[in-house]
Amino acid sequence: MENQPHGVIAVYPGSFDPITNGHLDLVDRASRLFDRLIVAILRNEAKKPLFTVEERVEMAREVLRPWPNVQVESFGGLLVEFAAARGARVILRGIRAISDYEYELQMALMNRRLAPNIETVFLMAAEDYSFLSARLVKEVAALGGDVSGLVPPLVYERLQRRLAPAR
């Protein structure tokens, strides 16, 4: 086995637009499995995000502060190149339902083809969050629904400010 002076580094990629309590649950569990966890926020303006990359990074850094082995970065381009550049051997993905699995499997197999030395690890969402997605949070919040129990308080405040003019 190869010598790993910094232990096992995992990358948890996503848009995190916005970061939800489901994301926090995965971070909490993954932070105990890996020596270092990098939450990698995707720069993809084609998705028309509600929050800028800078805002998403700032919110994530604030709410993830309690986990000392977790850091937040943004990236564009190929995930496996980002992961390799940081010495990561694992890509972490959350699975909420069977419907997630097909897409995630395709991505995992492509990533394996591009970087055979980086493994994809799937963690099942906690039952309380198995229905939760950032897209759903944004839709409900935009329509005036209460999402306060689904996102950290900081994120809830930012959603309220961002979406108030639209209502």
Domains present along the chain, CATH in parentheses: 9-162 (3.40.50.620)
**Number of neighbours of residue 35 by Cβ within 10 angstroms:** 12
At 6, is the pLDDT very low, low, confident or very high (cuts 50, 70, 90)?
A: low
Q: H or E element: which one contains 56?
A: helix 53-63
**Could you tell me the pTM of the whole model?**
0.92
In this prediction, residue 167 carries a pLDDT of 54
In this prediction, residue 17 carries a pLDDT of 96
Q: Which two tokens stand for residue 24?
A: 């926090």
Is the pLDDT assigned to residue 67 strictly greater than 70?
yes
Q: Would you report the helix, strand and coil content of the chain in percent, each value rounded to 5?
A: 45, 20, 35
At 118, is the pLDDT very low, low, confident or very high (cuts 50, 70, 90)?
A: very high
Query: Mean pLDDT of all residues in the chain?
Result: 92
Nearest to 88 by CA among 166, 158, 12: 12
Q: Round to whole Å and give the CA distance between 136 and 128.
A: 15
In this prediction, residue 59 carries a pLDDT of 98
Amino acid at 161: R
